[in-house]
Structure 1
Amino acid sequence: MASYEAIKNFDDDDDDDDDVEMALPHSQISESRSATVSSPIGQTTPLHIHNIIEEQRIISRHQPQPKSPRLVSLDVFRGLTVALMILVDDAGGLIPALNHSPWNGLTLADYVMPFFLFIVGVSLALSYKKLSCGVDASRKASLRALKLLALGLFLQGGYFHRVNDLTFGVDIKQIRWMGILQRIAVAYLVVALCEIWLKSDDTVNSGPSLLRKYRYQWAVALILSFLYLCLLYGLYVPDWVYQIQTEPSAEPKTFSVKCGVRGNTGPACNVVGMIDRMILGIQHLYKRPIYARMPECSINSPNYGPLPPDAPAWCQAPFDPEGLLSSVMAIVTCLIGLHYGHIIVHFKDHRVRIIYWMIPTSCLLVFGLALDLFGMHINKVLYSLSYTCVTAGAAGVLFVGIYLMVDVCGCRRMTLVMEWMGMHALMIYILAACNVFPIFLQGFYWGSPHNNILKLIGVGT
């Protein structure tokens, strides 16, 4: 999302300092050449030639260099993702097709998170393509990640937990440790360190040489995927209990969930939830689980609603959709985006870029759909391997389409709004998705909290 710096002054790799002609305007090059050719034979001494070269270098050093073109398609892609996020947040409850899938399956809302992570990866490839000091770059990346993590804890850890009652503050006993910004911070830091330290000095002039140069980064992606699959399908999930407060003055009610299984990917007995309960603590997880919209847990499914009479015990259990194990595959999505950014850095021809983008895009889509067909279902909450592949492939398709329209064909007028939103993505996210703007509208009132700005403009009651 916006856990990274916007791509400003996008540079090509072809600026060789030793090539004097590339630093000079064409007219100056021609004049220098003609002056050298027309000079008398006696004057073309080695000292004279050396002086001409030095003059050219001095001119090139003081010549104002034109700014390299900005990769507009990345801003447009980021802005489109922010707009999609706002759309699903505001209209998801009204249109089920826009809301997150209750468990298995894929809806429009389920593309938002992987699209943000994909953009982070692309941006990191461009930001760290030229490094002067790896230690300094690592320190700065760690500092950026910590800032984003702190911002996520403040905005999503529970500070604005009762907006309608204008009750703010953080209950440390129940603060939510993970969240969207926290997940992006973790993925950003891991992938940034991979980009800084895990690349060889091989020259890139083809697809295979590109893979060789970044083979260690691909090894990290494979190791993380293998680790995720081993834990998801290999760990044993025992029975577990949880408590919820059903009434303000009553004692918490205890529920017992029967599991005793291995390799289960259902809502109650999966390893993703077990790891979060053991490490983070169940009181620090998201209190409104997405599976509460399943038919087993809601009579208004696919919307939230009252529990059915025979609802299972796990329906009201907290579950974090941005948990620890699922964030492992989020890092893989970011690494895939990093590969797409490498193609931008090393290949300048539009046609070559598009070909090298579409090859992994097609493979990811086919592989992800095949996994879903054979039983490894697409699941956003678990961030399954099939979900990783399909959403990363979809991000590649959308990115190539925007690149063709904006950077190749130059059709920027119709995407100016999205471009602006992409350049201010973090600000828009905080205002729209973290309840800061709603709090501003409701936070100023006269006499009663219901007499606020919204009532003044005729919105709400």
Structure 2
Amino acid sequence: MSSMIAVTTTELDERQREPLLHNPRSLSNEEEEEITNTPSTSSSNASPLPTQRLLSLDVFRGLTVALMILVDDAGGAFPCINHSPWFGVTLADFVMPFFLFVVGVSISLVFKKVSSKPMATKKVIQRTIKLFLLGLLLQGGYFHGRHNLTYGVDVGKIRWMGVLQRISIGYLFAAMSEIWLVDSITVDSPMAFVKKYYIQWMVAFLFCTFYMCLLYGLYVPDWEFEVPSTNLFEYEFGTKIVNCGVRGSLEPPCNAVGLIDRFFLGEHHLYQHPVYRRTKHCSVNSPDYGPLPPNSPGWCLAPFDPEGILSSLMAAITCFLGLQFGHILVHFKGHMQRLCLWSVCSFIILITGYVFELLGVPLCKPLYTLSYMCITAGASGLALTIIFYIVDVKHFRKPTMILQWMGMNALIIYALAACDLFPAAIQGFYWGSPENNLVDDTESLFQVMLHSKKWGTLVFVIVEILFWGLVAGFLHLKGIYVRL
């Protein structure tokens, strides 16, 4: 399963925004027309006022896309960087929060000035629908990936939720709050900053409270599911009963997140290969996939959607936090002010996450627990701070050029690379048998050259990332940007 996405946030009428670039044609996404010199809180160390693109956001997004490709394609060879089987956090588990966070930052810059709230709302809803439908197309089951070159989906089993769908939900909540829940006052002091955005903070707190109440308060009864006859583990197919009858469980079979998804979406519309199949309960090769251990529990083959309804509600809070970092960018013009405030906020969020973990709220990406949300959002803030310092303060841009290109055309790279559209198309041309194709043979060549399957795969993935970086650079050179 692809773990991450590229996102566009919103488009507004040009009269609702100020230009950011010296050359507007080099915009990668309409939401990236950011202004970094809006008059606001005064500062003695304010940076020069000429408009310029905030390249650190492109680099951050490009880095996230590169990580997405790395963990998706090399995670099988290196399970330590693949998604955690359930509890805990690995490198792959930071990809989704990174994108959610940068979407929030972008929203704050796009909606810095809104001349017509109804018009802005209409455009946000349109963008949300397009993003959701694109996610449904890419991850609903129409395209079956590199190693299963088939096309089409049974509408009775289509997967409703997914990566882009989750992003669209977070984007919708954050963008609507930025349009309707911001006080129209001038920020000329820290207190004015709080007054301007305190309603947003209250809404985010209510979201967290609602999520926690459902997660720990809903009673999860016994439930049943159908084991497909085509399961890869030769498990006896038929109807299996999962014994729960508990409240507040965060384990794979009996949590409220799965309960809500089964009720509203239906068992057949959930992700059919959840990460908990790599746990010790469900795999002899844990933390990798493998045959079922003896006496494994029946729920090992049950479906579970890692981008479900309730967990997406908490994921939207990551967008809210990115939104607040964007507010700092808008209202504080001094680079050192921004860096200090971002650093302090990031560490506070990180510490909060560790406190929640110590209090018994485990890190769990499939459930998007509060501790996981805080720690990954704090890490996102620190990553943005570091990249901003390197790229936009110290202007070390040549080493990050490829990442910048990838970030400026992240949507097309996500669709072609992470969703396997391009590799699957290439593999459609083979000689003799489907295994004899350019993609698989190139990967095999690296494995033979390095006398190692896993290290050959890693080199292949690095070359793949460089390839997509150059593709993005070519598109940038031609002024081509794929948007919604």
Partner of 1:425: 410
Q: What residue is the counterpart of 2:19 in the other structure?
A: none
The C-alpha deviation readout for 1:323-374, integer Å capped at 9, x for no partner, is 0000001110000000000111111011111222122211111110011112
Q: Structure 1, residues 38-85: CA drift from partner, whole Å, max 9, x if none?
A: xxxxxxxxxxxxxxxxxxxxxxxxxxxx97111011111111111111
Q: 1:111 to 1:251 in 2, by over 3 A?
A: closer
Q: Offset at 1:91?
A: 1.2
Matches within 5 A, 1:311-350: 311-350=296-335
Q: How many percent identity over aligned positions?
A: 53
Q: Select which of 167, 178, 183 maps to 2:161.
A: 178
Give secondary structure in 2 for the equivalent of 1:94: coil
Tell me whether 1:130 sits opposite 2:113 in the alignment.
Answer: yes
The answer to whether the 8 A contact 1:259-1:269 is kept is yes
Residue pair 2:35, 2:330 contacting (<8 A) in 1 also = no
CA distance in 2, matches of 1:287, 1:354: 43
Shift of 1:317: 0.3
Contact 1:118 1:336 in 2 (8 A): yes
Residue 272 in structure 1 maps to residue 257 in structure 2 = yes
**Residue number among 82, 104, 113 corresponding to 2:65 in the alignment:** 82
Equivalenced residue count is 411
What TM-score do the two structures reach when normalised by structure 2? 0.81
For 1:46-445, what aligned pairs fall within 5 Å after superposition? 68-161=51-144, 163-247=146-230, 252-445=237-430
- Secondary structure of 1:243's aligned partner: strand
SS in 2 for 1:246: coil
Counterparts of 2:146 and 2:236, CA distance in 1:
25
* Aligned equivalent of 2:38, options 13, 34, 47: 13
Shift of 1:14: 2.9
Conserved in 1, the CA contact under 8 Å of 2:36 and 2:333? no
Which amino acid in structure 1 is aligned with residue 244 of structure 2?
C
Q: 1:295 to 1:132 in 2, by over 3 A?
A: same
Structure with greater Cα Rg: 1
- Give the deviation of 1:151 after TM superposition: 0.5
Offset of residue 153 of structure 1? 0.4
CA contact (8 A) 1:3 1:184 kept: no
Structure 1 segments unaligned to the other structure (5+ residues): 16-65
**2:306 & 2:443 partners in 1: Cα distance?**
35
Give the Cα–Cα distance (whole angstroms) in 1 for the partners of residues 83 and 53 of structure 2: 34
| Closer, same or farther: CA 144–439 of 1 in aligned 2, 3 Å | same
The alpha-carbon distance between structure 1 residues 165 and 231, as it changes in their structure 2 partners (threshold 3 A), is: closer
Look up the equivalent residue of 1:12 and give its one-letter code.
N
CA offset digits 1:16-48 (Å, max 9, x no partner): xxxxxxxxxxxxxxxxxxxxxxxxxxxxxxxxx
One-letter code aligned to 1:95: F
The range that moved more, 450-459 or 309-318, is 450-459
**Unmatched tracts of structure 2, length 5 or more:** 1-5, 10-28, 41-48, 448-484
Q: Which moved more, 1:358-367 or 1:243-252?
A: 243-252
Measured in 1, the distance between the counterparts of 2:285 and 2:441 equals 33
Match of 2:458 in 1: none
CA spacing shift, 1:82–1:165, aligned 2, 3 Å: closer
Q: Is the 8 A contact 1:104 1:380 kept in 2?
A: yes
Secondary structure of the 1:215 match is helix
Q: Which moved more, 1:280-289 or 1:347-356?
A: 347-356
Q: CA deviation at 1:247?
A: 4.4
Report Cα offsets for 1:135-163 as digits up to 9, x if no partner. Answer: 11111111111111111000100001264
Secondary structure of the 2:396 match is coil
Task: Answer yes or no: is the 8 Å Cα contact 2:36–2:329 preserved in 1.
Answer: no
Measured in 2, the distance between the counterparts of 1:341 and 1:250 equals 50
Write the distance in 1 (CA, Å) between the matches of 2:103 and 2:443.
40
Q: Is the 8 A contact 2:109 2:326 kept in 1?
A: yes
* 1:435 CA displacement: 1.3
Output the CA distance in 2 between the equivalents of 1:171 and 1:105. Answer: 34
Are the aligned partners of 2:352 and 2:374 in contact in 1 as well (CA < 8 Å)? Answer: yes
